[in-house]
Amino acid sequence: MRIEPPRRTPEDEQRLIVLYSLMHLGPCTDTQLLQFLAEQNLTNYFEMMFALNDLCDRGQAARQKRRAGTYYMATQAGDEALRLFGGRVPQSLKNVIAEQGALWRQRFKTEAQLGQEIRKTPRGDYELTLTVTEKDAEMMRISLCVPSREIAYDWMNRWPGRASQIYGAVIRALAEDEKP
């Protein structure tokens, strides 16, 4: 019995898959794009980067430097390429990208608005930095020192669900008039 290797996606189809994904995800980093494509079993890192760089070279995708890193997005030329050649991508893949793309787009938006970072300090404790960003403007930054890595990660994981409550509490506390 002969075992066939898995089907390799042709380069032009790979570029169209990446472009179609960019259209549905909106602006995203290469890491975010890779997470999306890998979870949907659409590509690997090397194929994605090759396709992404080729799309940028052709003007069908663009790189944009932002405070949080480099973001990629489809261009008008990319829209045109999809109109002309989008039929080369199987409809089943288009459906997956469209359905999952909306969910991931919201996830990326939340990630961009709520930053979190942990670093070990020279003293041996951990500094947890939590941020709220809106339209590339940092609205709030909180840095907390905690005694253990476990506490830092626990609090970091709670941040997305509590960020608006904490932000609101800080604003209310600062805006309150002191009563004698």
Looking at the structure, do residues 124 and 107 belong to the same domain, yes or no? no
- Domain boundary, last residue among 111, 127, 156: 111
> CATH number for the domain including 107?
1.10.10.10
- Give the C-alpha distances (Å, rounded to integers) separating 9 from 40, 43, 102, 106, 119: 14, 8, 24, 28, 40
Looking at the structure, do residues 74 and 89 belong to the same domain, yes or no? yes
Looking at the structure, do residues 98 and 120 belong to the same domain, yes or no? no
| pLDDT at residue 43 in the model | 87
Q: Give the three-class secondary structure for 140.
A: strand
- The answer on pLDDT for 133 being more than 60 is yes
Render pLDDT for 144-164 as a digit per residue (tens, 0 to 9).
999 999 999 999 999 988 998
Looking at the structure, do residues 101 and 171 belong to the same domain, yes or no? no
Give domain status of residue 1, yes or no.
no
Give domain status of residue 117, yes or no.
yes
Render pLDDT for 69-82 as a digit per residue (tens, 0 to 9).
788 999 999 999 99
pTM of the complete model? 0.66
Range of the domain at 93: 11-111
